[in-house]
């Protein structure tokens, strides 16, 4: 009952880590808004949540479009009257040698991975400032700090998310608003399926993972649930690594 009477928006939550996060928050009594670019996929998640008698709402939202984001916030307010928790996710990336990267590649990745955090947070803050307290958690990646070959734009976009998190955290702390980020290493989802199913790549990645396994979506969901809870009321500005000790390896 950690999130009783709380309203949580989770962007890009039709599958993977973010679907697991929606389930984790709903299980602890949050009213959850499940959103992604595909309404049908969100409705399936909502049905799953409702089958446990938890409360959820599906809203289509492509986070790279400000009109969709505005609609996401408006529909949430009109259904639940407030927003307590915003979990910012959605991503694009590619694996390309730097010399082969085009301006379009760079713009596409930076546009979605950074702009969506800005758009969603900017729209939500206008409502949240009227409340007593609330939480924003954005998704970075441990690659924001370590870098990774053939992923220059992705790594740059995640470093930008981390620094935006820090700047926002300082600005919003006086309003009792906690802004933090999560930085996972390799987690088993659709995003990483191809790499993890390739024995050679997977072995190379495990050699950089002292815990000697890849993470589960539910393990990130639990870390997000912690940052979204009152247990984290005095945590501002943090980028929490959930990485099987990758960062220090």
Binding site for ligand NAP (CB under 6 A): 11-18, 36-38, 41, 61-64, 89-91, 112, 139, 141, 184, 186-187, 189-192
Nearer to ligand NAP, 28 or 43 (CB): 43
Give the residue from 34, 53, 37, 150 showing the smallest Cα distance to 91: 37
Nearer to ligand NAP, 41 or 209 (CB): 41
**Minimal distance, residue 232 CB to ligand NAP, in Å:** 20
Q: Both tokens of residue 69?
A: 């984001």
**Minimal distance, residue 176 CB to ligand NAP, in Å:** 27
In angstroms, the CA 249 to CA 244 distance is: 10
113 DSSP 8-state letter: H
3-state secondary structure of 131: coil
Please list, in sequence order, all residues whose beta carbon lies within 8 angstroms of the beta carbon of residue 63, skipping any fewer than 6 positions away. Answer: 11, 12, 37, 69, 90, 112, 115, 116, 119, 120
Name beta bridge partners: 139. Answer: 182
**Minimal distance, residue 114 CB to ligand NAP, in Å:** 11
Q: Quick check: is 154 catalytic?
A: yes
Nearer to ligand NAP, 103 or 190 (CB): 190
Catalytic residue among 18, 54, 116, 154: 154
Question: What ranges in 51-151 are assigned the alpha helix state H?
Answer: 66-80, 103-128, 143-146
Return the active site residues.
Answer: 154
């Amino acid at each position: 009952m950690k999130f009783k009477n709380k309203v949580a928006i989770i962007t890009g939550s039709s599958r993977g880590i973010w679907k697991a996060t929606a389930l984790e928050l709903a299980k602890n009594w949050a009213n959850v808004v499940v959103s992604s670019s595909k309404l049908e996929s969100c409705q399936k998640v909502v049905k799953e949540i409702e089958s446990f008698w938890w409360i959820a709402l599906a809203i289509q939202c492509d986070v790279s479009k400000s009109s969709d984001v505005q609609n996401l916030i408006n529909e949430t307010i009109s259904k639940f009257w407030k927003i307590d928790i915003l979990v910012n996710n959605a991503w694009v990336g590619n694996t390309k040698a730097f010399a082969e990267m085009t301006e379009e590649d760079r713009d596409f990745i930076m546009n979605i991975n950074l702009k969506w955090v800005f758009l969603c947070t900017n729209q939500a803050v206008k409502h949240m400032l009227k409340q007593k307290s609330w939480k924003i958690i954005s998704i970075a990646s441990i690659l924001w700090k370590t870098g990774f070959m053939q992923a220059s734009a992705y790594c740059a976009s995640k470093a930008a998310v981390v620094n935006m998190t820090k700047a926002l955290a300082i600005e919003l702390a006086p309003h009792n608003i906690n802004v933090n980020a999560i930085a996972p290493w390799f987690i088993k989802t659709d995003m990483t399926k191809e790499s993890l199913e390739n024995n050679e790549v997977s072995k190379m990645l495990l050699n950089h993972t002292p815990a000697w396994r890849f993470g589960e979506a539910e393990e990130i969901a639990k870390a997000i649930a912690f940052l979204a809870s009152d247990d984290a009321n005095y945590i501002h500005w943090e980028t929490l690594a959930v990485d099987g000790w990758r960062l220090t390896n």
